[in-house]
Structure 1
């Protein structure tokens, strides 16, 4: 039974999101990916491995007008803009070769390209191949090289930060070595008279504030039964004069399910001098939804 066209198109969309792996090219195995048309090696058309019952998606950089095949086997071919979907419809011997000719829709030269479809086992069939009709310019290659160098430098810097973090001790020793704690140590204070906004959807159970070079607010929240799960994704800590302490991170590892209680931690950037309060803490979920507003929060 042949596969309906809508299913083939849906399969093409899914396969189009998959990354393309680069493979080494040689005359024995002309499998360079992606394929640059007009730059074929070894004097023969590029080869595409296909398999019985496997949809192979060819992604061109130019819209296609049509596709024609000649040789052993029959193929269901679906042309959709820059995509060509191929599905072998009858069994043929492995390594059988079929010539595929594609015609481009814009009429520019070259108007056609020729490929070789090589039958392989379904496990070795290619699901997606990118083909470029236009040769890449030196400017394009230089831009890609700059972007690759920049990404590599970022990875090197991130790797150095991770190595430094692993080498640093934890606990109080780590706080001292990192400079987050000085000779004044860490001061702590419990919530005494926190004012909850009437529209808060979660109830506060308890809270603590800490101060070293930065400040930390720990809030224990309970999500009532019948409510939707809630997870903090952002926070603001604002003084009475409107000054805002810069939030460094919000730590809420999982969502708080209905009937459950969990701590949410809000840490600020280092603060110079004694912060002047009381502060108003606002926590919100994804997209700023279901905010929790807590007033009259004093820092140590």
Structure 2
């Protein structure tokens, strides 16, 4: 926008009200379907002015926010705004995501409380419902895990673990998965684990709940790295890829294919 030049906004929904910061610096003409703004000379070039319009209907989105920028010589003379109400499916998706986040927070809280109360071993697993009748299932996967070409680290031994299923907030079953690797550092500098992601057969990424121990592996030496994730029981099937990255700024990611769980 530019002082002295009019900018008109047209909407496909009826307006309820308009909130314009520094309204005294504008000449404003508005009705149910739009408004026209004419900035005065009091506005400086480059100044940014927030404006929020609220619609009369109660369906979402109930408002729209704009940032009006004062230009040295030009102004948008006409702005057409099309409002797209959210669908029922969109609301349901948002609700499911919120429920999943709440459930994850509760799980994290339970895990922290178990640790703080001294229940870090089997009692901690029992407190979180992760030890079922069959205990923790484990599987040797040394032969199936393949280190990708270009890796600094090579997998020498590998073992995977699966907890008993627990019921999530949404009623679905969740499991904890863990993989432990003995890694050879073939590089010339130490490598220290920082984070990990487990990628499922469908491309879904499961961020690690924890990576341990966070200790450097010296060049030419073996080191152990354990990774734990949480997935749905259904998603825990199939062949996974493991992506590790280190704390060192110069290092890239390390990839290991062929990870499976009991």
Q: TM-score, normalization: structure 1? A: 0.42
**Bigger Cα Rg:** 1
- More strand per residue: 1 or 2? 2
Q: TM-score, normalization: structure 2? A: 0.48
